[in-house]
């Protein structure tokens, strides 16, 4: 099974940078996903990491350290529309099941 932890809430100012950490414990690891979810809407895919290191996609970057069971999502040049919940999800190596953390609500203030 999976045990996934991420902070509940974070607040940042427009134009700033925010880093959302995710730690996990798993019996078998087969990739980590980050999703963005605006209030009342469906989660949408942001990034995927399976090897150690940094994946960059425009203003968003995601980092993975498998040995530490740790990932972070970095949001740069924050915009008001980035106010949302960010979900960390880990896939199991044996059944490919995706388990989600409770999500981190990011509030961007002007």
* Binding-site ranges for another protein (CB under 8 A): 4, 8, 30-31, 33, 35, 40-45, 48, 50, 87, 89, 96-103
Cβ at position 49, least distance to another protein in Å: 9
> How does DSSP assign 33-93, residue by residue?
EEEEE-TTS--EEEEEE-SSEEEEETTEEEEEETTTTEEEEEE-S--GGG-EEEEEEEEET
Cβ at position 25, least distance to another protein in Å: 15
Nearer to another protein, 54 or 102 (CB): 102
For the stretch 5-8, contacts whose Cβ atoms lie closer than 8 Å and that sit 24 or more positions apart, written own/partner, are 5/101, 6/86, 6/88, 6/101, 6/102, 6/103, 6/104, 7/104, 8/102, 8/104, 8/105
Cβ at position 46, least distance to another protein in Å: 9
Residues in the chain, overall count? 110
Nearer to another protein, 15 or 45 (CB): 45
Nearer to another protein, 18 or 87 (CB): 87
Nearer to another protein, 22 or 78 (CB): 22
Cβ at position 103, least distance to another protein in Å: 6
């Amino acid at each position: 099974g999976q045990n996934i932890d991420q902070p509940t809430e974070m607040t940042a100012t427009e134009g700033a940078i925010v880093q959302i950490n995710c730690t996990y414990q798993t019996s078998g690891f087969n990739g980590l996903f980050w999703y963005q979810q605006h209030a009342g809407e469906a989660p949408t895919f942001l990034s995927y990491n399976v090897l150690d290191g940094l994946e960059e996609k425009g203003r968003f970057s995601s980092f993975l350290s498998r040995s530490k069971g740790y990932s972070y999502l970095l949001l740069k040049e924050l915009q008001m529309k980035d106010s949302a919940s960010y979900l960390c999800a880990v896939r199991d190596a044996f059944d490919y099941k995706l388990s989600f953390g409770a999500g981190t609500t990011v509030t961007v203030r002007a």
